[in-house]
Amino acid sequence: MYNLSKGYLTDNFVFLTVYYEDFSYMKISQLKAMDGGQLGSNMGGMMGLFIGASVLTLVELTEYLVARFNRSWDRRKRPLSVRVQPAAGSEMREKKQPADSIVFHK
């Protein structure tokens, strides 16, 4: 099937010899800072904090917008000018005084 003759092998394969200067090595090991349970707990706590804060913010924003709408709605319903009418059965008389008769007290 394959031509694995001695000539083919000597032409196409390499024999490599590697020499080490020193046979010492350094072992590097990693330790987990937290396990899966701690990671899930931390993530859940953060999500609860942020979602709780965002829900509270939405409630406060809704409360502000409702109060603002109510104030503007009340202003529209309230008349701009106030009319003063005399009570029933009484007469209103207009008093006119000459400017000379007005006395200012100190």
pTM listed for this prediction: 0.35
CA–CA distance, 89 with 96 (Å, rounded to integer): 23
Model pLDDT, residue 79 = 61
Model pLDDT, residue 14 = 86
- 48-72 pLDDT per residue, tens: 888 888 888 889 999 999 999 998 8
CA–CA distance, 91 with 71 (Å, rounded to integer): 37
- Can you list the residues of the chain whose pLDDT is less than 50? none
For residue 64, give the H/E element and its range: helix 36-77
